[in-house]
Amino acid sequence: MAEFGIYVHIPFCRHRCDYCAFATWTDRDHLMESYVDAVVTDIQRSVERGLPVADTVFFGGGTPTRLAPDLLAKIVTAIPISPHAEITVECNPDDVTPEMMRVYADAGVNRVSIGVQAMVSHVLVALGRTHNPSNVALAVEAARSAGISSINLDIMYGAHGETLDDWKQTVEQIVALRPTHVSAYGLTVEAGTPLAEDPARHPDDDDQADKYIVTDDVLSASGLTNYEISNWALPGHECRHNMVYWMQGNYQGFGCAAHSH
C-alpha cells in the first residue's frame, strides 16, 4: 500500500555552504520560535481539513538541529502519525548532543540523517563545511544511546582537491561507524552559489564516476545494498520517506520552502 508522507522545512543555518542553493537563513535565528508556532498552526489547520495520518515524516532544511530540541519536538507532536511511522531528522554533527537525541526519541523520532559530506578535513574546507570529522562518531553514538537505531550518513564526492584516496578514506570511515543507511551524492554545481562562480572548483565527471565505483564497491562489501542511484541500506532500513517521492506517492509539505504532491 502507498504511504503518505509529510515534509517539514526548517530554514535556519549557522553557515551557508559554498555549494548550497536551498532556501536557508543564516541571520534570522530570532524567528525560530515564531516560525515553529506558524508551522504548528499550519499543521493544525490541515488536520481540521482532513490531513491524512502520516506514515513518514522528514525534517529537512536548512539545518533542523539549529532549533532547540523541544521546538522540533513541538512540531513532531502536532503531526498525526501512524503507529509504525518513520520519522527522520537531518542533523549537523556539530549540533548533536545526547540530550538532543533523547528529546527527539521521546517525541517519536526514530531515524536521523547526519550530514557528514567528508571525513577528510581539507575536503570539508573545500566544500565550505565547518564541522569537525570527529564529531560524526559522537553524533552517531548519541543517537544510538537514545535508542535511535536507524542512522543515515550523508556523504558527497567530487570536491575540488579531493583525491580518489581521500574519498576512499571517507567511505571506509563511514562504514566503520556501522550506519544502517548511506546516501552518497556527487557534488552538483547550482546556479547562484559561490561554487558556480568559481569554475576552477567545479567537479570532473570522470573523477566522480571513479568515486561512484569506489562507493558501491566499499558499501556493498559491508552489506549495504544499492537500492537507488545514490542510496545504500541494510535490509529493512531503506528510507521510506524517499520511497514516497520516488514512487510518485502523496506528501504534504509544511514550512516556507516546502511543497506538496
216 burial via Cβ count (<10 Å: 0-12, 13-18, 19+):
middle
Residues ≥6 apart with Cβ < 8 Å to 146: 98, 101, 102, 104, 105
b or e along 62-90 (b: 16 or more beta carbons within 10 Å of the residue's beta carbon)? bbbbbbebebbbbbbebbebeeebbbbbb
Distance in angstroms (rounded) separating the CA atoms of residues 66 and 155: 20
Q: What is the pLDDT of residue 132?
A: 81
Count CA atoms within 13 Å of residue 199 on its CB side: 0
Residue 195: pLDDT band (50, 70, 90) is confident
**pLDDT score of 170 more than 80:** yes
Instruction: Answer whether residue 98 shows pLDDT above 90.
Output: yes
Q: Over 70: is that where the pLDDT of 79 sits?
A: yes
User: Confidence band (pLDDT; 50, 70, 90) for 131?
Assistant: confident
pLDDT above 90: residue 15:
no
Give the model's pLDDT for residue 1. 64
**pTM for this entry:** 0.95
> Average of pLDDT values for 52-68?
97
Instruction: Tell me the average pLDDT across 121-136.
Output: 86
- HSE (CB half, 13 Å, CA atoms) of 47? 13
79-83, 99-103, 166-170, 195-199: least confidently modelled range:
195-199
CB 178 within 8 Å of CB 206: no
Asked whether the predicted pLDDT for residue 128 surpasses 90, the reply is no
Banded model confidence at residue 196, pLDDT cuts 50, 70, 90: confident
What are the angstrom distances between the C-alpha of 99 and each of 14, 113, 131, 197, 207? 20, 17, 19, 40, 40
Tens of pLDDT along 202-239?
999 999 999 999 999 999 999 999 999 999 999 999 99
One-letter identity of residue 50: G
| Distance, CA of 207 to CA of 186 (rounded, Å) | 10
Q: What is the mean pLDDT of the chain?
A: 95
Query: Could you count the other beta carbons within 10 Å of the beta carbon of residue 40?
Result: 17
Q: In the structure, what pLDDT confidence band is assigned to residue 127 with cuts at 50, 70 and 90?
A: confident
Extended beta strands in 24-165, E state? 54-61, 81-91, 111-117, 150-157
The answer, yes or no, to whether residue 261 has pLDDT greater than 80, is yes
Tens of pLDDT, residue by residue over 138-163, are: 999 999 999 999 999 999 999 999 99
For residue 41 the three cell numbers come to 498552526
Cα–Cα distance, 259 to 257 (Å, whole number): 7
90 neighbors 113 (Cβ within 8 angstroms): yes
